[in-house]
Amino acid sequence: MIASDLETGRGRLAELIEAARVVLPFTGAGISTECGIPDFRSPGGTWAKFRPIPFGEFLASQDMRDESWRRRFAMEEQFAAARPGRGHRAIASLYRAGKAPAVVTQNIDNLHQASGLGADDVVELHGNTTYARCLECEQRYEITWVQKRFTDAGRAPDCRCGGHIKTATISFGQPMPEAALRRAEALTRSCDLFLAIGSSLVVWPAAGMPLLAKRIGARLAIINREPTEFDAIADLVIRDDIGSVLAPFILV
């Protein structure tokens, strides 16, 4: 069912949440746009301007690592200034109320953690760009540290162990995070309301999760400005601004 207007949609969503035992929020770029984080895949987004650097090229070339880090530093002001939006705060309220055990996200902006969810309860399918790790020994590095070393040396630094340091994101061509995928699937199997927010649900594995939820008998609600592949099988579709839809669900 596609909600005819914002009020109807919110009312129906409140009923679905009330009736659910376990809600699993699944979030994409749309939840963070009001926080000043651009949707990288949208027309005019970063990926439209720059060809993404595949993982293999990052590994193979110092120039590509330098370029990758220069692009990341150019975004630092936006990522550092971003604060959780109304959607993040509504999910944090469900989490605190014991309705939502965790959130699964395609976002890399750390805003669910910033809204109060435990780091272990944010399942990140594409990693996290607010810190970096050594690709060999997994030592964590802060972005400011990498930036200072880059500025001093004029090139992207490597780890003490000799491994390359990369933001903790999953790049094109990089293996998917198996543990996060397994956790996302287990969470999907255990929910009775799958709440997709701000994702077009086209990128695997995001595309498989609403189907799995429906197959195990969960309800499916989709909040997204644009139509998605799964609107036809959803129990509720709200095509509206995410912050406006979820604002009433914020409990202080």
Catalytic residues: 126
Report the length, in residues, of the chain.
252
| Binding region for Zn ion (CB under 5 A) out of 21-29, 73-81, 135-143, 235-243 | 135-143
205 near Zn ion, rule: CB under 5 A: no
Least spacing, CB of residue 157 vs Zn ion, in Å: 11
Binding characters for Zn ion, 140-159, by CB under 5 A (x = yes): -------------------x
Out of 15, 136, 142, 229, the residue judged to bind Zn ion by CB under 5 A? 136
Give dist(CA 166, CA 61) in Å, integer.
13
Q: Choose, by CB under 5 A, the member of 161, 202, 203, 251 that binds Zn ion.
A: 161
Concatenated DSSP letters of 63-123: HHHHHHHHHHHHTHHHHHH----HHHHHHHHHHHTTS-S-EEES--S-HHHHTT--GGGEE
Q: At what angle do helices 208-215 and 178-190 cross, to 10 degrees?
A: 30
Does 137 bind Zn ion (CB under 5 A)? Our answer is: yes
Determine the interface stretch with Zn ion among 54-62, 83-91, 96-104, 138-146 (rule: CB under 5 A).
138-146
Provide, rounded to whole angstroms, the least separation between the CB of residue 140 and Zn ion.
10
Query: In this complex, which beta carbon is closest to Zn ion, that of residue 163 or of residue 205?
Result: 163
Token digits of residue 234: 């959803």
Query: By rule CB under 5 A, what count of residues binds Zn ion?
Result: 7
Q: Which two tokens stand for residue 87?
A: 């959607």
Provide the minimum distance between the beta carbon of 133 and Zn ion in the complex, in angstroms, as a whole number: 8
Distance in angstroms (rounded) separating the CA atoms of residues 12 and 19: 11
- Residue 59 found at the interface with Zn ion (CB under 5 A): no
Interface mask (CB under 5 A) for Zn ion, residues 77-116, using x and -? Answer: ----------------------------------------
CB of 113 to Zn ion, least distance (A): 24
Q: CA 155, CA 147: separation in Å to the nearest integer?
A: 10
Of these, 31, 134, 193, 223, which contacts Zn ion (CB under 5 A)? 134
Closer by beta carbon to Zn ion, 125 or else 143: 143
* HEC letters along 133-172: EECCCCCEECHHHHHHHHHHHCCCCECCCCCEEEEEECCC
From the CB of 159, what's the least distance to Zn ion, in Å?
A: 3
Cis peptide before 157 (omega within 30 of 0): no
Running DSSP on this structure, what letter comes out for residue 26? E
Query: Which residues of this protein are in contact with Zn ion, per CB under 5 A?
Result: 134, 136-137, 139, 159, 161, 163
